């Protein structure tokens, strides 16, 4: 069985955020650049639930990890 492939839109929906392309672009533009020494899950703009989700998915190398890594790169860029 293949692991699901998640999109940025899916990730934003999972986080309870607007998930259309314009909203995603606006979110990234508003919150970047994230300081290099700040982990994505520790960024101040996440709720506790969002931060926990991001941290756990990365720690478990779950199927969400690749798209979370992509968001991390976007926000640190």
Going residue by residue through the chain, which has 77 residues, state the pLDDT in tens, using 9 for 90 and above.
Answer: 556 789 999 999 999 999 999 999 999 999 999 999 999 999 999 999 999 999 999 999 999 999 999 999 999 98
What does the DSSP 8-state code read for residue 35? P
- Find, among 26, 62, 57, 12, the residue nearest to 39 by Cα: 57
Q: State pTM to two decimals.
A: 0.91
For 64, the 3-state DSSP assignment is: coil
Integer Cα distance of 71 and 17 in angstroms: 14
Identify the structural domains of the chain with CATH numbers, from first to last: 8-76 (1.10.10.1130)
Instruction: Specify whether the CB–CB gap between 14 and 63 falls below 8 A.
Output: no
Would you say 3 and 50 are in contact if contact means Cβ atoms under 8 Å apart? Answer: no
pLDDT per position as a tens digit, 55-66: 999 999 999 999
């Amino acid at each position: 069985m293949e692991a699901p492939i998640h999109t940025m839109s899916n990730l934003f929906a999972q986080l309870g955020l607007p998930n259309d392309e314009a909203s995603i672009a606006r979110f990234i533009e508003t919150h970047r650049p994230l300081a290099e020494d700040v982990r994505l899950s520790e960024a101040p703009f996440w709720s506790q639930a969002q931060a926990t989700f991001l941290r756990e998915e990365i720690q478990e190398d779950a199927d969400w990890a690749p798209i979370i890594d992509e968001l991390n790169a976007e926000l640190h860029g």
